[in-house]
Amino acid sequence: LIQGASDPQELLQASRGPAMSSNLAALAIARLAHLAGKQRLDTESIRGDPRFQQLLDTVDAQISQVWNAPLVQLLRSLPALGLARGGRQARSVEQEVLWRLRRLPLRQLVQLAEHLAGQGHDGLLLPEVLRKLELRWTELDGTRTVVTLMAKVGHLSPALMERLEDKALELAEQFDPDELRRVVLALALQQRRCVPLLRALSYHLLQKPAELPLPVLTDLLFAYSKLSFQQPQVLHRLSLELQPHLGALSPAQVSRCARSFASLRWLSRPLAEAIAQYSLDNTQKLSITQLCGILVSFARLNFQPSSSEEFFSMVHEQLQGQEQQLDTHLLTDAVWSLCVLQQARPPHLRHVLCPEFQARLRGDTSPRAQSSWLKLLHINATARLEAPGYQGPFLPPEALAGDRDKDREKATPLQRGLREALLGALGGPDLIRHDVSTVYGWDIDAEVVLDSDNKPLPVRDFTAPHLPHSEGTKPLPPGARRVAVLRWEFPQFSSRGRELLGRGSMARRHLRAAGFLLAEVS
């Protein structure tokens, strides 16, 4: 009668018999909660019914005789019926569950953990449930259980999450695409870059023959970006399968996909072209923030669309008149991106280089502000070196000086080897200037001056317009040249990463325009 009841009144009427045990009463309350949720009923009328109170009293009087499964259901049902978590009945049920934790099957422990974590439980029960799961993790045997725990409970217990990662590694071959998505997303949201597990999941993802659903594509891309985990074959597949569905995505999703590929330094030209065309086709739907996200992504990847003139005309049109409304950092990013792609116009340069705009960033020591200030230096260099008709304003000389937070003590092996090689080849420390911070916002690993016969000269004897304060006073001799040694290191990325960096392209242009010959090592 309890299981077959389709109406709360029918259920309450069936529960009036004198033979109602505490176990059946618990089942009846669970069924009531199910019907109330399914039919969206007012729980206040149920709570006020004397027959419901009789059910609660029956359970409370003989709670030790309630079986495990109905007891767990009862714990989940009382809050759904509007009973206060701190009330007498709820506390009684929680205490009974706490006493029985050691005897509960693993499946019911998982249900408990999922429910308590979802309710934001702050009592003693949830920590005890997590401890029991940590001790019994070897009993986990199903992919659904592992995925559920990782997604909903793992963030509450790092020790349990480590065990779950080990179990997921064992079960990786059995995950379907949606389970793969949920596992990788759980790792990303918890900032757990478990490389062995990510490699295994990537391998088994590539073995899935069917086309991946759109939510799987977008969530995997977001997760790989969040974890800075670049797997070329996976990214190639994601970009290939995402391109035909681009029109079905919202502007926010397209902007997020573009930013994700850019942060992974992965350029799929057909997909990037499709994103540019999407932007042109949906100009009215794109917010200025979303458009700037796409623009910054193109700049980071040094990508120029084939419809470059049309695309950038649209960007300029959308930015026009919006400078005052845009966030300081967002506007800086947008103008910097236009400079990277050689599309900046004098009005944009004037707006971000004026003293009023600079004042917004002064005194702010946050990482975001420091990044924006460095970009202002790059924009200022573009205005001086690549905008012949631009008359100002420029950043003041005092703003071009200062240490840009370089960590000189933690030199990389390549950096140490480069210093030793240059010292041995040139013959003396006075012939090299190391760790040069230029007024253009670019740091040079080493600077050398060579005469017309390619012999090194004392670098500190000569004027240095690229420095905030020049040490020397002599002009360069006729035929002499400055050489800037640039070091590129991409420990996590493919060898073509250097060509994909828009900022690297901008650095080369600026330094060449300033009269440097470039020597690059990687």
The span from the CA of 383 to the CA of 336, in Å, is: 11
| Ranges 3-7, 152-156, 192-196, 472-476: which has the least confidence | 3-7
CB 73 within 8 A of CB 108: no
Bridge partners for 434 per DSSP: 446
Model confidence band, residue 496 (pLDDT cutoffs 50, 70, 90) = very low
Report percent pLDDT > 90 for the chain: 63
- The pLDDT assigned to 124 comes to 86
H or E stretch covering 77? helix 68-80
Model confidence band, residue 495 (pLDDT cutoffs 50, 70, 90) = very low
Q: pTM for this structure?
A: 0.86
DSSP sequence for 315-383:
HHHHHTT-TTTS-HHHHHHHHHHHHHTT---HHHHHHHHSHHHHHHHTT--SHHHHHHHHHHHHHHHHH
The span from the CA of 507 to the CA of 184, in Å, is: 36
The span from the CA of 491 to the CA of 423, in Å, is: 25
- The pLDDT assigned to 157 comes to 93
**What would the pLDDT profile of 198-222 be if each residue is shown by its tens digit?**
999 999 999 998 899 999 999 999 9
**Lookup: tokens for 488:** 């590129």
**What would the pLDDT profile of 416-456 be if each residue is shown by its tens digit?**
888 888 888 888 888 999 889 999 999 999 999 999 999 99
How far does CA 327 lie from the centroid of its chain? 21
Q: How far apart, in Å, are the Cα atoms of 225 and each of 188, 189, 190, 284?
A: 9, 11, 13, 28
**What would the pLDDT profile of 74-119 be if each residue is shown by its tens digit?**
999 998 888 887 788 888 999 999 999 999 999 999 999 998 888 7
- The pLDDT assigned to 174 comes to 95
What would you measure as the largest C-alpha separation in the chain, in angstroms? 111
Bridge partners for 89 per DSSP: none
**What would the pLDDT profile of 239-265 be if each residue is shown by its tens digit?**
999 999 999 999 999 999 999 999 999
Give the residue among 50, 30, 504, 32 at the shortest CA–CA distance from 302: 504
Phi, then psi, of 213 in degrees rounded to 5: -65, 155
Q: Indicate whether 409 pLDDT > 80.
A: no
CB atoms within 10 A of CB 301: 23
- The pLDDT assigned to 325 comes to 82
Mean pLDDT computed over 475-481:
92
The span from the CA of 159 to the CA of 186, in Å, is: 15
Q: What is the bridge-based pairing of β-strands 456-457 and 443-450? A: antiparallel
Cis bond leading into 393, ω under 30°?
yes
Q: Indicate whether 338 pLDDT > 90.
A: yes
**Lookup: tokens for 325:** 């409304």
- The pLDDT assigned to 497 comes to 47
